[in-house]
Amino acid sequence: MVCPYCQTELPDGARYCGECGGDLTLAQVPVPAPTQQTIVPSRVNATHITPKEEHDRNTKIGVVVVVSIGVVAILCGIISVLLLA
Ligand SMILES: [Zn+2]
């Protein structure tokens, strides 16, 4: 293995670099970076919204808005009728 701090060749399993004294047990943390990079595309895919899904979502939002406005309008009508009665 190679020290990530000073690039010195070290025996495999070394916990500290004999050259710069770097903690190799901590230095091993960044090693899974390739794994994280493979996760990124899946995240992108998970958050990626196709035009159809976007359309469906907009349609649902539109329905909710229309229904909400309708409910409010009906309530306002009922209230105004009660107030006038
Ligand atoms: Zn080193």
d(CA 17, CA 45): 40
Rounded distance from Cα 63 to ligand 1 centre (Å): 62
- Amino acid symbol at 23: D
Q: What φ, ψ does residue 29 adopt, rounded to 5°?
A: -60, -45
d(CA 47, CA 54): 11
Rounded distance from Cα 38 to ligand 1 centre (Å): 28
The predicted-structure confidence for 24-60, as pLDDT tens digits, reads as follows 888 655 555 555 555 556 555 666 778 888 888 889 9
Rounded distance from Cα 36 to ligand 1 centre (Å): 25
pLDDT band at 70 (very low <50, low <70, confident <90, very high): very high
Rounded distance from Cα 5 to ligand 1 centre (Å): 5
Overall average pLDDT of the 11-21 stretch: 91
Rounded distance from Cα 41 to ligand 1 centre (Å): 33
Q: pTM value?
A: 0.34
pLDDT band at 8 (very low <50, low <70, confident <90, very high): very high
Would you list the domain boundaries of the chain? 1-48, 50-85
> What is the reported pLDDT for 84?
87
